[in-house]
Amino acid sequence: MIGSGIFRVPSATAAQVGTPGGMMLVWVAGGVVALCGALTLAELAALYPRAGGIYVYLAEAYGSLTAFLLGWLSLVIAPASIGAVALVFAEYLGRLFPTLQDWVRPVATAAVTLVAGWNYRSLRFGAAVQNLSSAAKIVAILALTTAAFVSGHAGEGAWRDFEVAPRSWTGFGLGLVTVLWAYNGWQDATYVGGEVKDPGRTLPRALTAGTLMVTGVYLAVNAAYLAVLPMDAIARSPLVAADVAVRLFGEIGNALIAALVCVSTFGTINSGTMCYPRIFYAMADDRLFFRGIAAVHRRYGTPHAAIALTAGLAVGFLWVRTFEQLIEIFILAILPFWALAAGAVIVLRRRRPDLVRPYRTPGYPVVPGLFILATLGILLNSLSQRPGPTAASFAAILAGVPIYFLWRRR
Identify residue 302 by its one-letter amino acid code.
T
Q: How far apart are CA 44 and CA 47, in angstroms?
A: 5
pLDDT: which is higher, 368 or 335 = 368
Q: What's the longest Cα–Cα distance across the chain?
A: 69
**pLDDT of 49 above 90:** no
At a CB cut-off of 8 Å and minimum separation 6, what does 20 contact? 158, 159, 161, 162, 163, 226, 231
pLDDT for position 213: 92
**pLDDT of 193 above 80:** no
**pLDDT of 271 above 80:** yes
Q: Summarize pLDDT for 371-390 with one digit per residue, the tens.
A: 998 888 878 877 777 787 77
Q: How far apart are CA 72 and CA 5, in angstroms?
A: 25
106-120, 165-179, 209-223: lowest mean pLDDT where?
165-179
Topology, domain 5-409? Amino acid/polyamine transporter I (1.20.1740)
Average confidence score pLDDT of the chain: 85
Q: How far apart are CA 242 and CA 228, in angstroms?
A: 12
Q: How far apart are CA 225 and CA 229, in angstroms?
A: 6
At a CB cut-off of 8 Å and minimum separation 6, what does 288 contact? 64, 67, 68, 71, 404, 407, 408
Q: Summarize pLDDT for 7-18 with one digit per residue, the tens.
A: 878 888 888 888
Report pTM.
0.79
Which residues is 192 bridged to in the sheet? 51
Angle between helices 5-17 and 252-275 (to 10 degrees): 100
Q: How confident is the model at residue 326 (pLDDT cuts 50, 70, 90)?
A: low
DSSP state at residue 18: -
Stretch 164-180: mean pLDDT: 79
Q: How confident is the model at residue 335 (pLDDT cuts 50, 70, 90)?
A: confident
Domain residue extents for the chain: 5-409
- With contact defined as beta carbons under 8 Å apart, do 218 and 31 qualify? yes
Q: How far apart are CA 406 and CA 410, in angstroms?
A: 6
**pLDDT of 294 above 70:** yes
Q: Among positive and negative, which fits the CA dihedral 218, 261, 240, 272? A: negative
**pLDDT of 63 above 90:** yes
At a CB cut-off of 8 Å and minimum separation 6, what does 287 contact? none
Angle between helices 20-47 and 366-385 (to 10 degrees): 130
- With contact defined as beta carbons under 8 Å apart, do 328 and 296 qualify? no
Stretch 155-179: mean pLDDT: 75
What percent of the chain shows pLDDT beyond 70? 95
Stretch 168-178: mean pLDDT: 79
Identify residue 167 by its one-letter amino acid code.
R
DSSP state at residue 263: H
pLDDT for position 220: 92
pLDDT for position 377: 82
**pLDDT of 116 above 90:** yes
- With contact defined as beta carbons under 8 Å apart, do 293 and 305 qualify? yes
pLDDT for position 328: 62
pLDDT for position 323: 63
Q: Summarize pLDDT for 194-239 with one digit per residue, the tens.
A: 778 888 888 888 889 999 999 999 999 999 999 888 888 888 887 7
29-33, 37-41, 385-389: lowest mean pLDDT where?
385-389
**pLDDT of 407 above 90:** no
**pLDDT of 33 above 70:** yes
At a CB cut-off of 8 Å and minimum separation 6, what does 135 contact? none
Q: Which of 88-97, 104-113, 149-158, 328-337 has the highest mean pLDDT?
A: 104-113
Q: How confident is the model at residue 67 (pLDDT cuts 50, 70, 90)?
A: very high
What percent of the chain shows pLDDT beyond 90? 24
Stretch 310-330: mean pLDDT: 77
pLDDT: which is higher, 180 or 309 = 309
Q: How far apart are CA 397 and CA 32, in angstroms?
A: 27
pLDDT for position 340: 94
pLDDT for position 155: 64
pLDDT for position 8: 77
